[in-house]
Amino acid sequence: MPSGKPVLELVNVSKAYRAGETITWGLRGLSLRVHRGEFIAIMGPSGSGKTTLLNMAGLLDRPTRGKIYIDGFDVSRLSDRQLARLRNRYIGFVFQQFNLINRLTVLENIELPLIPRGVPRRERRRRAVRALLSVGGDPSWLPKKPLQLSGGQQQRVAIARAIVGEPHILLADEPTGALDRRTARLVVETFIRLNEHGQTILVVTHDPEVANCAHRIYQIRDGRIAGVEEPDNSKCILNTVM
């Protein structure tokens, strides 16, 4: 359950993109708090600012205005190298298209976030196996290449990679968008299981059956928070008839 100070906080964040003389605002004074142990869903139409929000939360881009705090620490003045180090230790990413490296084995993919930290090979393997098991994966996948696995298996490998470094927050961008309903349910089950063990999760999704599994749903319109909703857990994908 959520507790303590926010693990992630955006305060009056605006983001402008310039193309020649044209300025487009991806976010317009958006504020958001995510507390430790929360499972948050972000919804909104295409072009509403969801991806920009995720880029800000993941420290992949800098705001034009406003502040971003990770565990209460203002990250706005950090160098690119410092931001990269912070991302590696504090944030895990899951993407719609998995973003696995097909020339590497499953084991090597999961280990990747640990290499910049200097974790020894034997310890990397131990943590990778533990992460894979925690998302319902099978150790027999470890020597395989990603394309030898199904889409749902690849997404669970991607989640294992995202959590192997024990991030403070897990960010997921349309994690079920490329999956059939049965496989999407397995992925959502994985998120819920991780959340029940204390993992903080922020999911961007178009799917209300995924959003209704969260603790709160934020609706975004035109780069602003347009509303906050209580989910209807009866309409969670795990409770709907296939």
The whole-model pTM stands at 0.92
Residue 5, pLDDT score: 80
- Predicted local confidence at residue 241, as pLDDT: 63
- By C-alpha distance, which of 211, 194, 203, 215 is closest to 173? 203
Each residue's pLDDT, cut to its tens digit, for the chain (242 residues) gives 555 689 999 999 999 998 888 999 999 999 999 999 999 999 999 889 999 999 999 999 999 999 999 999 999 889 999 999 999 999 999 988 899 999 999 999 999 999 999 999 999 999 999 999 999 999 999 999 999 999 999 999 999 999 999 999 999 999 998 889 989 999 999 999 999 999 999 999 999 999 999 999 999 999 999 999 999 999 999 998 66
**Domains in the chain, ordered, with CATH?**
37-62+81-239 (3.40.50.300)
Q: What angle do CA 77, 78, 83 make, to 5 degrees?
A: 140
pLDDT of residue 242: 60
Question: What is the reported pLDDT for 240?
Answer: 80
What pLDDT is stored for residue 3 in this prediction?
56
